[in-house]
Each structure stands twice: as structure tokens, then as C-alpha cells.
Amino acid sequence: MKKWLVEELICPQCLDSENVLKLDIRTETEDDIIEGHLVCPQCKQVYEIHEGIAVVVPEQTLPIIQDATGYNSFSMLSSYLWSHYSEFFNGPDATDAYQKWARALDSKRSGWALDIGCSVGRLTFEMTKTHDRAVGLDTSISFVRAARELGAAKRLAFDLIMEGRITEKRTCDLDPAFGFDQAEFIVADAMALPFRSRRFSTVSSVNILEKVPDPLLHLAEANRVMVEKDARFLFSDPFSWDESVNSPELWLGGTNDGDFKGFGMDNICRLLQDPESVFSPGFAIRDMGQVLWKIRKTRNLWEHITSQFVVAHRAAMG
């Protein structure tokens, strides 16, 4: 983990008291901590840094990050590396979805950006073009490892699944305009962000809302870490609610009754503009639309997804 991130990290188990974690280094380079741990001075929870990857999640999140299936699987890595970077190796039918999300944030601004559920890091790297620093976080160690390796090598080399266990190598340089040294990736939970309140001037939540057990808590956490004045929020989601991921009582759309009946995007826009909601002190909507996004599973299997996005801005304090 890059040393510049250390003093920003707080204990995700003691969010109310915002305890800055104490660092103990075992192995380091000039800019990076390779092996070591972070400790909460209050609850004494220990967070490991191993092979450069910091895992800063509450205890109850550990089973998710230790699961070798799902987003930690080899097939997911192939799918997401294709999805994020196929433009750079001229993959046939490459998706330009990430360019479109990045363009929604294309004005230069000072401050730090946070990409929640960053996967293999494309949007985080894009955010380094417009921000002083960008941090990506995800519960998948495999994705975070891949994103860190991309940042270190400044190029991509991976095994793309053709069919079953048959793979082909894909290699390419990445955009030289990415600020590789300005980006860092950690393993963290979208529902317990290990950052001080009001730290980031821009936050993105792209295609993650429906994947977390408590979507409203994720939004509340995103709001907590955004600055009060001049904050920008990029939100995008396909709203494909799934009962095996989260309970319908916690969905923010896709139901016929309850506080969040109706369509998810309508409810997100309502929350964003309501100064009494989890987005207190309230945002104004700047842009809305759809991004056609693709995930490639094998050479014959693609998922075509419409992700609805909104860019919101909070100009002033409440």
C-alpha cells in the first residue's frame, strides 16, 4: 500500500470515533508498504498488509473476501479485465462504457476521488486525470491485486478465457495519461468505508448498489466521506435487484410498496435532492443518462447491460 494513504485510514469497526489506524511496517520500499499491519488504538482490531495489499474490513466482512468463488474467481478476473481494458488491446466489440463514465467526471478539480467497488481499477485510473489522487476499493482481493499490478507495470498482461480452461494471452500498454503513482487500491467494504468523514471531493458508485447487503447503508457511507461543499457523486446501476444478494425489504426500488416503491433511479434522484435523506445536506442533479456496458464471459457469451447513471453536485453547505 502506498505510504501516502496511511494517514487517511480509520478503523472500519469504530466509524463513530474515527480512530486513525496505527501502522507497523515489516517490509517496505521507498513509497510502498509491502508487509505489515494497521491496528485500531480503540478496539485493537488488526488489519493486515500482505504483498502490498491492505485489507481494512470489519470482522463480519472477512468471509466475503475469503470466498474464492464469485468476484475472486479466475473467470471473473478475465471478464472484468476484458471489460475495463479491451479498448487498449483492440478487443473485438470492446466496450467504451468506462470512457463514458469517466467523461461524466471530466472537469479538472482539486482533491481526492474515491471509486467504491472499483473492480480492476479502470475508473480509478481515469479519475487520476482529473484529481490529485484517486483511491479504489473493493472486497475482491483478486481484483485489488490485479489493479495494483496494473498500476505498477503500467501495462496489462492477462489470460483471457476463450472457452472453459482454454485461454489466450492479451497484453497492451495502458493510457500514459493515467497517473499511476496517484492511484491506490485497497480491500474495503462499501458499507464501512475506512476513511475519515468529508475526505473526498468526488465519489463514484458504479454497478455496486445492487451487490451490497444493505444498499442504503452504502449510500450513507458514500455521503459521509464526501466533502460538504463542492462534492460530486457519480452513481450508476442496472438495478437488477436479486433476492439472493439482499433482502427486498432493503431494496431501493423494484417493489410495489414501501418507502422505495417504484423504479430505483427515481428513488436515488429523490434521495439525492432531499436534504433530510442520507445525502444530507442535499445534491443537485447535473447529468443523467444510460451507459451500455458489456461483460464478456467467454468468446461466445456476453452480458449486455444498461446501467443508468446520474452525476450530482453539492455546491454549498446546508
Q: Using CB under 6 A as the criterion, which residues of the chain lie in contact with ligand SAM when the complex forms? A: 71, 83, 117, 119, 138-140, 143, 189-191, 206-208, 211-212
Q: Rg of the chain over CA atoms, in angstroms?
A: 19
Q: Looking up cell 461466445, which residue turns up?
A: 300
Q: How far is the CB of 276 from ligand SAM (least distance, A)?
A: 26
Residue nearest to ligand SAM (CB): 117
Nearer to ligand SAM (CB atom), residue 284 or residue 301: 301
CA 240 to centroid of chain Cα atoms = 18
Q: Which is nearer to ligand SAM, 143 or 158 (CB)?
A: 143
Q: Please state the closest distance from residue 254 (CB atom) to ligand SAM, in A.
A: 17
State in Å, rounded, how far the first CA of the chain is from the last one.
36
Please state the closest distance from residue 26 (CB atom) to ligand SAM, in A.
26
For the beta carbon of residue 239, count every other beta carbon within 10 angstroms.
18
Which residue lies nearer to ligand SAM by CB, 86 or 207? 207
Determine contact, residues 264/254, Cβ cutoff 8 Å.
yes
By C-beta, is 34 or 217 nearer to ligand SAM?
217
* Shortest distance (Å) from residue 122 CB to ligand SAM: 7
Edge-to-edge strand ranges of the sheet holding 22-28 = 22-28, 33-39, 46-50, 53-54
Distance CA 219, CA 224 (A): 9
* Cα 124 to Cα 136: distance, rounded to the nearest angstrom: 6
Q: How far is CA 149 from CA 35, 79, 144, 154, in A?
A: 16, 17, 9, 8
DSSP per position, 110-147? SSEEEEET-TTSHHHHHHTTTSSEEEEEES-HHHHHHH
| Minimum distance, C-beta of residue 86 to ligand SAM, in the bound complex (Å) | 12
Cβ nearer to ligand SAM, comparing 5 with 191: 191
CB of 307 to ligand SAM, least distance (A): 7
CB closer to ligand SAM, 5 vs 208: 208
